[in-house]
Structure formats: structure tokens, C-alpha cells
Amino acid sequence: MGGRFGSEYAFSKATRPVAKLYEDIVGRQTDLPLNLEVDQFFSWLYENNEIETPKKPAQKCQYWTFSPGADAESWEEFQQQGIMAIGWDEMGDLRLFKSKDDMRLKLQELWPNNSDKKNDAHACWQFVHDIEPGDVIFAKQGSTQLLGYGVVGSDYDFNATRPHYKHVRKVKWLGKGEWEMPGDSKMALKTLTDITPYGDFVKLIAKKVGLEGEPEVKTVPINNPDYPLSQCAADSGFA
């Protein structure tokens, strides 16, 4: 058995367990052939239940290292709440500043010292304007320890109700651990650093945390205990 007929037969045989599971849980809902009905059902799932995970390079994903508070003091909080956040709370809503230099002058006014505040202003500007939903964030402590990674899930927001670290973005944290970078590959000590231009460095960090290759956008699996197949069927109108 070869050619197109052989391929179609092999595919039909391979999908029988899925079709049987669909028939047992959801039940037949149309007069269409079972495989076609199952195909329509999963097409609906694909269109309505995508979750964000790191983008492929073709999608121009950016990669950032990020310090979750001084000495990573807020890492557990940020991970549990699904956010990343930075300080300089007294600045107020960062969207109100028209330029990076305006931010720098305000920082100097609020925290006067010998610093020109260029790095702080750059971090604030990047946090509100340059980070994009879908970007990959590598949380770190100091210059050598990685703590986890996640995917940005929202635009910037100023949350005045938070007691501290009021400049916020949502992040879906996908991995957590403790990984040491090699001594000759230290990360910048800054709060926020765009490492996208340094491809080899990005690959090194990604490998360290177990982010092998370039994960694609995924759909909710049919055996997800938080979203069982029967509920999917009800939501899609098949049940």
C-alpha cells in the first residue's frame, strides 16, 4: 500500500485513538465523517486557545536580562503574581514623559547625587517603550546567577496601589531555578538589559535555563486537567 492512499490510511490509523477519545467524551455532534468532525473541533481549539510562549526569531522577539529588585529581593513575589516590575516609584506614570532626557532630569531632581542618571533613565524608557508583549525575560541575581525566564504578556502599567515597584508588566514565568553563568560570560549589573543583539550570549543563557531551540506558540493540550476535553466541547458548541 503506497502513494497517497497509503499515506491517508496511515494517518487515519494513527488518529484513531484521538477520534475514539473524542467520541467517548464529546459524542457525535454532526452527520460528518468522524475524522472531519474531530478536525473541525480541533481547528476551533487552535483558533481560540493559543497561549503566548517565546517567539521565533522571524517574529523579531527581543531578549532581556532583568533584576527583580535589589539583590533579587522581589523574585518570589514577581513570580507568584506573574509580573515584572521596576522601582523609581516617585516618577509616577512613565508614559507621561516625552523623552528619555526628561526622565533623566526628573530622576536627578528626585534623587540628587553625583550620578548623571543616564542608566536609570534608559531602564525606565526601555521598560515603558521598548519591551514588547512576546519578548523573553531572563530573571537574574547579580551578574552570574540566573533565576528563571518568562514571556511578557502585557503593555506597561503604572499601578499606584502597589506598595513598591509600581511600574509593572505582566509576565508568564515559564521556568525557575538557579543557574550559574561561566566566569567569562557575566551579565550586566543593570536592572534591565536588551541582549537581543548578542546572539551567542542569548543562546548561552537560553541553554543554561533549559530553553532549547525556539519554542513555538502552543495550543491547550486536550489532556490539560485545568481545561478537560468535555469543557472544551461545551465551550465550542460541540456538546
- Structural domain range at position 33: 3-49+224-236
User: How does the average pLDDT of the chain come out, rounded?
Assistant: 81
Residue 98 clears pLDDT 70, i.e. is over it: yes
What is the phi-psi region of residue 72: left when phi exceeds 0, alpha when psi lies from -120 to 50, beta otherwise?
left
Q: What is the DSSP letter of 190?
A: S
Same domain, 118 and 21: no
Mean pLDDT of 9-36: 69
Same domain, 192 and 95: yes
Residues 71-89 have pLDDT tens digits of 999 999 999 999 999 999 9
Residue 221 clears pLDDT 60, i.e. is over it: no
| Per-residue pLDDT at 29 | 75
| Per-residue pLDDT at 54 | 55
Residues 148-169 have pLDDT tens digits of 999 999 999 999 999 999 999 9
Same domain, 199 and 174: yes
Q: SS3 of 62, please?
A: coil
Same domain, 203 and 228: no
Same domain, 45 and 63: no
Residue 180 clears pLDDT 90, i.e. is over it: yes
| Per-residue pLDDT at 183 | 86
Mean pLDDT of 91-102: 97
Same domain, 180 and 105: yes
Cα–Cα distance for residue pair 204/195, rounded to 1 Å: 11
Residue 205 clears pLDDT 70, i.e. is over it: yes
Same domain, 121 and 177: yes
Cα–Cα distance for residue pair 75/147, rounded to 1 Å: 8
| Per-residue pLDDT at 56 | 47
Domain count for the chain, please give it.
2
Cα–Cα distance for residue pair 132/11, rounded to 1 Å: 40
